[in-house]
């Protein structure tokens, strides 16, 4: 996941895997979530701080979001959570800033490859890297795909992209012409969780 709280996209799936199938689910979160200060008005009453003030939000939100993510992970039954604490600059549709030095992408990719090799996961869930979603989600997915590609085919997990759907929305991901790694095996959604 790119940000703390992105587990919401897979909450039902993770919960069902851990609680109904008694299987293992882990999570890696790349950023510390400080860029979410603009969207923190409701949280101001909960935490008693003016989180929408940039200096306050950027200072306080990493710890708040880390704690919330860890607590959410416990409810979902996650075994391990890795938080890589990369900078969360702002919402944008172009994640190229992450590759231009905002994130330590080499460290992230190395951590992903090492984890995939060590744990030999069967499945990796990630956000679909659509050009109309947050650039950090796009980059997180591209880095995970690059990491998975470095494994031998017999050790490579299945990679499933997800997208929170709007009520009644029919969505088909076509892959990205700028990234062959995003090619899909089927145009139709394989499943949906309600």
Taken in order of first residue, the domains within the chain and their CATH numbers are 6-32+77-182 (3.40.50.10320)
Calculate the CA dihedral of residues 136, 137, 139, 142 and round it to 10 degrees.
170
pLDDT tens digits for range 116-164 = 999 999 999 999 888 888 999 999 999 999 999 999 999 999 888 887 7
CA atoms within 13 A on the CB side of 79: 9
C-alpha count within 13 angstroms, C-beta hemisphere, residue 15? 11
Q: DSSP string spanning 113-162? A: HHHHHHH--SEEEEE---TTS-HHHHHHHHHHHHHHHTS-TTTPPEEEEE
User: By percentage, how much of the chain surpasses pLDDT 70?
Assistant: 91
d(CA 13, CA 11): 5
Q: Between vectors from CA 38 to CA 2 and to CA 35, what angle results, nearest 5°? A: 30
Tens digits of per-residue pLDDT, 87-106? 999 888 888 888 888 999 99
Average pLDDT value for residue range 57-63: 97
Answer yes or no: are the C-beta atoms of 158 and 126 closer than 8 Å.
no
């Amino acid at each position: 996941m790119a940000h703390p709280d992105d587990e919401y996209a897979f909450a039902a799936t993770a919960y069902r895997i851990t609680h109904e199938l008694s299987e293992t689910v882990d999570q890696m979160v790349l950023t510390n979530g400080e860029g979410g200060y603009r969207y923190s008005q409701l949280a101001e009453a909960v935490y008693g701080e003016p989180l929408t003030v940039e200096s306050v939000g950027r200072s306080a939100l990493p710890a708040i979001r880390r704690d919330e993510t860890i607590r959410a992970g416990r409810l979902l039954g996650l075994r391990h959570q890795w938080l890589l604490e990369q900078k969360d600059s702002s919402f944008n549709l172009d994640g190229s800033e992450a590759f231009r030095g905002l994130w330590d992408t080499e460290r992230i990719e190395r951590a992903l490859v090492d984890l995939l090799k060590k744990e030999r996961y069967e499945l990796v869930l990630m956000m679909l890297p659509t050009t109309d979603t947050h650039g950090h989600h796009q980059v997180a997915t591209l880095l995970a795909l690059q990491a998975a590609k470095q494994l031998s085919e017999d050790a490579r997990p299945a990679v499933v992209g997800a997208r929170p759907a709007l009520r009644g929305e029919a969505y088909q991901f076509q892959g990205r012409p700028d990234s062959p790694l995003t090619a899909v095996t089927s145009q139709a959604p394989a499943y949906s969780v309600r």
